[in-house]
Structure 1
Amino acid sequence: MRAIGTMLVTAASLATSAASAQTAPAPLVLTADQVAFRDLFKELVETDTTVSNGNCTLLAEKMAARLKAAGYADEQLTLFALPEFPKDGGLVAVLPGSSKTLKPMLLLGHLDVVEAKREDWTRDPFTMVEENGYYYARGASDMKAMVAAWVDIMVRLKKNGTAPKRTVKMALTCGEESGARFNGAEWLAKNRPELIAAAFVLNEGGGGRTDGKGKVVVQTMQIGEKSNRNFRIETTNPGGHSSIPVRENAIYDLADAMTRIRDYGFPIRMNDTTRAFFAKAGASRGDAMGKAMVALSNNPQDADALKIVTSDRGYNSMLRTTCVATMLEGGHAQNALPQRAATNVNCRIIPGEDADTTKAALEKAIGNPAVSVTLVGRLRPVAVPPPLDPAIMEPAEKLVARYFPGVPLVPAMSTGATDATYIGIPTYGVPGGWGDPDGNGAHGLNERREIRSLFVGRDFLYDLVTAYASK
């Protein structure tokens, strides 16, 4: 894909290009409103909102200014931040509907992003770079593309001049990625529930997936998600002088424990959502992976199918609880035997299992009672899957058929965890944009968003929101 300046396809053909020419997309030319949307996206990703150096409050204020310029009244915009956490603020915007009986809908998004160190990245993580058909920046995939779409939708609905039937709310919060200091969604639910009260919530967690070669092969509606728990794995030792080492070493013991956790595979556990996902998504593929997905949905004990399906890290995570080491500490001096070593193990727990069963599995895998396993950190509520409501699914199915002919929309369980668990309202991770099998660098290095995905996703989500808001 050539640079933006030489893109040749108009906005009206973006959806057709995404569906009928997915393997060889034509270059794109941006209309004036798409240029404005790109600038909105650029402002979002170039505003640092990491927990260490970022400022969610500043970004929330920028988004409020855009809404104010679009005609929102002061009483329709609520900026919030606590004095003790001045940089962790957020925004709630409300566009009143004309119906007195339809309950509101809520567009939910988080402004904060995972840490990104410039020395590790190929490009500056907080400068949007266009390259090879992608926009590179921290937050490009998780989740500032969707936040840009939410803000853009609120602006467009306001500028239409006609109120939607259903009141549309938008909540942009901080703390989803770290939760270390303050979680905006949790605070709203506990302190200002009236601001976010709604019949249902649209959120991240769904979306499309390519075959790794540019072709969108499935669109998903997230119905439920894994629970997120952290465990501290710790070893201790009396220590001593490094000039007289012994075999019993806290760091070595920890390394042994981590090796056993790495090599441990939690059992496969399918539920109705994942079984339907693998059956329907697999049937649409027509390749070896697709056949294995269908076979596994019919028989989770099919070892040959399991080997193929779990070679894809995303599919593997949908099938079982996963635990992985994410942070490490140890020792107290360069010339001393370590007295303590520890790592954080982040677990994404599949429905049907919980923190207790996961802790027991880790302890069994380690096989050393001297190694302590302790549940730590913020405990998100366990997600309750929303119903497969036809009023939610049918409009999305119609739009997927129009934007992506031949691509199925299937229910899916998110392998991540979102702030929706704090809100306690039926929440759906919506389709529209798409990502690649490698995860597009989300939470990792050189995060990126395909340019076509950004703009097609924008139009898809606008159509989806207006459909839900109209009846």
Structure 2
Amino acid sequence: MTSLLEEEALEFVRELIRIESVNTGDPATIGDGETRAVRFIQERLREVGIASELIEPRPGRGSLVARIPGSDPGAGALLVHAHVDVVPVEERDWTRPPFAAEIHDGYLYGRGAVDMKNYAGTVLAVARHLARERIAPRRDLVLAFLADEEAGGLWGAGWLVDRRPELFAGVTEAISEVGGFSVPLDGDGRRDEDGDEAPGADPRRAYLVATSEKGVAWATLTARGRAGHGSRPTEDNAVVRLAGAVRRIGEHRFPIVRSPAVTRFVEAFARARGLRFSDETIEADLASLGFVGEIIGASLRNTATPTVLSAGGKTNIIPGEATARLDIRVLPGQDAPLRETLAALAGPGVEVREGRWWSATEAPVDAPLLDVLGRAVAAEDPDGLVVPYLLPASTDNKHFARLGIAGYGFVPLRVPHDFDVLGQFHAADERVPVDALRFSARVTAQILRKA
């Protein structure tokens, strides 16, 4: 028999999916979905006596913040945040309506099912549960439901940090995406006392917690040369110079950097699977983990990927300028070395001009909060193990880090061993097991109560 907490969590997730809060990145086409979503949340909070403030820096771009007092005034407040915007959909690629929130074969389908209206609805349900049961959390809880994460958070978390930092007074840590989902820890089964796999045993689960996130940056390469007629080639050709820089950067493999989060991950999986994860074997060892290894493999190195090229307008004219844009993902503490490497690879005559640059975030891998996460998971999955990892993407935690808030990614979901939660982000037929949402509600309630 499911509890009211679990039923409300499922109901609210479905209701939020049905609110089309698509963030196209274009103010002309975004609409008012974000504000409608947070108004829905605000009303559900008001029903149980929880006050909140709706902040709308632009029409339709609403965010909502509420604070629930804790029982320990000396403890730092905990920020719990979820974004209410979602990425666009190509409906022809979906087999289920992306905004209908239909349930089929035990899965809830819809844009936002994992990214991340599932957590917004769950946190809303937990807040109502605490209010109904008159349960005071240990720490003050600051609940933030945010606009614009999918386009960088400039009108959501970034705007609030810049313009309304008092809303987060006293906050020391945050919980949000992307983590908490289960992955198989033991491979095909548990190991017996001799180290052999026990036939038929169900693998233990690791619940990944993002203690760190790669930074995200953009840069433009600009090469200049002598313009002229295409019939008279010149050695001072901007296109050729740029092409050389793009090739060098595109082919470069940055060195492996073992961050604290990566170190903790490989330690846990080395013990569970008998792997070495040495410098010589780490990539092969990660490959043996399947989709789990792909996630971690992307967190080993800095990357700089050429994505957009631009030069000239007519085939018979040598342009005087050529440009290329780079998508850059930077590991913690690697900003300066990465900049130096890019300048060296670009070479003489090619300017590297930085655009948006958000550095990586890094929170302690041994904080007491991780013990709370572990106990909450163990109450529902006694063999489950919370394992740190480095998220190779970025979230709104990058904005809150500017206030000194240590951000963690942990949305608890116990899923089938072959279900790649991270693979559902931005995908067609985005879905989540209904049982995983119920598990999420129970575990999140324990975390927010006892953190």
Is the pair's TM-score, using the shorter chain for normalization, greater than 0.5?
yes
User: Which residue in 1 is equivalent to 2:256?
Assistant: 268
User: Which residue in 2 is equivalent to 1:348?
Assistant: 329
User: Which residue in 1 is equivalent to 2:181?
Assistant: 208
Distance (whole Å) between structure 1 residues aligned to residue 248 and residue 429 of structure 2: 30
| Percent of matched pairs sharing the same residue | 25
Distance (whole Å) between structure 2 residues aligned to residue 88 and residue 329 of structure 1: 32
User: Which residue in 2 is equivalent to 1:454?
Assistant: 437
Distance (whole Å) between structure 2 residues aligned to residue 140 and residue 168 of structure 1: 24
The residue identity in structure 2 corresponding to 1:47 is S
User: Which residue in 1 is equivalent to 2:193?
Assistant: none
1:170 to 143, 146, 151: 143
Distance (whole Å) between structure 2 residues aligned to residue 430 and residue 140 of structure 1: 15
Distance (whole Å) between structure 1 residues aligned to residue 218 and residue 89 of structure 2: 21
User: Which residue in 2 is equivalent to 1:383?
Assistant: 361
Segments of 4+ moved more than 6 angstroms: 212-216, 239-242, 245-253
**CA distance 1:463–1:318, shift in 2 (3 Å):** same
Distance (whole Å) between structure 2 residues aligned to residue 78 and residue 163 of structure 1: 21
User: Which residue in 1 is equivalent to 2:413?
Assistant: 433
Q: Residue 332 of structure 2 contacts residue 359 of structure 2 at CA under 8 Å; is this kept in 1?
A: no
Cα shift at 1:78: 0.6
Structure 1 gap ranges (5+): 1-9, 13-29
Distance (whole Å) between structure 1 residues aligned to residue 214 and residue 93 of structure 2: 29
Report the aligned-residue RMSD.
Answer: 3.6
Could you say what secondary structure the match of 2:217 adopts?
A: strand
**CA distance 1:160–1:364, shift in 2 (3 Å):** same
Q: Residue 48 of structure 2 contacts residue 132 of structure 2 at CA under 8 Å; is this kept in 1?
A: yes
Q: Residue 181 of structure 2 contacts residue 421 of structure 2 at CA under 8 Å; is this kept in 1?
A: no
Could you say what secondary structure the match of 1:47 adopts?
A: coil
Distance (whole Å) between structure 2 residues aligned to residue 50 and residue 42 of structure 1: 16
Distance (whole Å) between structure 1 residues aligned to residue 412 and residue 113 of structure 2: 15
User: Which residue in 1 is equivalent to 2:206?
Assistant: 218
Distance (whole Å) between structure 2 residues aligned to residue 259 and residue 120 of structure 1: 34
Distance (whole Å) between structure 2 residues aligned to residue 166 and residue 150 of structure 1: 15
Distance (whole Å) between structure 1 residues aligned to residue 348 and residue 260 of structure 2: 37
Distance (whole Å) between structure 1 residues aligned to residue 434 and residue 314 of structure 2: 48
- 1:186 pairs with 2:167: no
Cα shift at 1:102: 4.1
Distance (whole Å) between structure 1 residues aligned to residue 119 and residue 427 of structure 2: 18
Cα shift at 1:110: 2.1
Q: Residue 208 of structure 1 contacts residue 220 of structure 1 at CA under 8 Å; is this kept in 2?
A: yes
Could you say what secondary structure the match of 1:460 adopts?
A: helix
User: Which residue in 2 is equivalent to 1:49?
Assistant: 23
* Correspondence 1:79-94 to 2 at 5 A: 79-82=54-57, 85-94=58-67
Structure 2 gap ranges (5+): 189-201
- 1:40 pairs with 2:15: yes
TM (norm. structure 2) is 0.78
Q: Residue 241 of structure 1 contacts residue 335 of structure 1 at CA under 8 Å; is this kept in 2?
A: no
How many correspondences in the alignment?
418
User: Which residue in 1 is equivalent to 2:342?
Assistant: 362
- 1:233 pairs with 2:221: yes
Could you say what secondary structure the match of 1:39 adopts?
A: helix
Distance (whole Å) between structure 2 residues aligned to residue 235 and residue 133 of structure 1: 55
TM (norm. structure 1) is 0.75
Q: Residue 141 of structure 1 contacts residue 447 of structure 1 at CA under 8 Å; is this kept in 2?
A: yes
